[in-house]
Amino acid sequence: MVITNDQYKRVIFVTGSNNGISYKHVRLLAEKGHTVHLASRNETSGRAAQANLKDQYNLNVKSVQLDVTDVASIQAANDTIEKAEGRLDTLINNIGMLCTSSRLSMLINSGQV
């Protein structure tokens, strides 16, 4: 049996990916031919990153607005990807969120971490 590269193509969602290392992940994954959804809290920043990837690298990625602290935003992002792709194979979650020590202590004490 011959396995083609198309069998390895994935639908990938990368949070917080309008800049930094997550932006680079988006670029590398798109260069490999995967369908990549770039997520950003600010829709304008996400679309700018999407346009930059197209202009500089001729890559077609999709931009999705996402605020990971807002349940409605998470559901909307999920619905957007589900409607466009019918599935999500991989989530790369950027953990670069600000969390003060008092907030972290509260989360740990409540059993949420």
pLDDT in tens, 45-96: 999 999 999 999 999 999 999 988 888 998 999 999 999 999 999 999 876 5
Q: Distance between CA atoms of 100 and 55, rounded to whole angstroms? A: 38
Residues 50, 26 contacting (CB under 8 angstroms): no
**Is residue 3 over pLDDT 80?**
no
State the virtual CA torsion across 71, 76, 91, 64 in degrees, nearest 10. Answer: -120
Domains and CATH numbers, the chain: 8-109 (3.40.50.720)
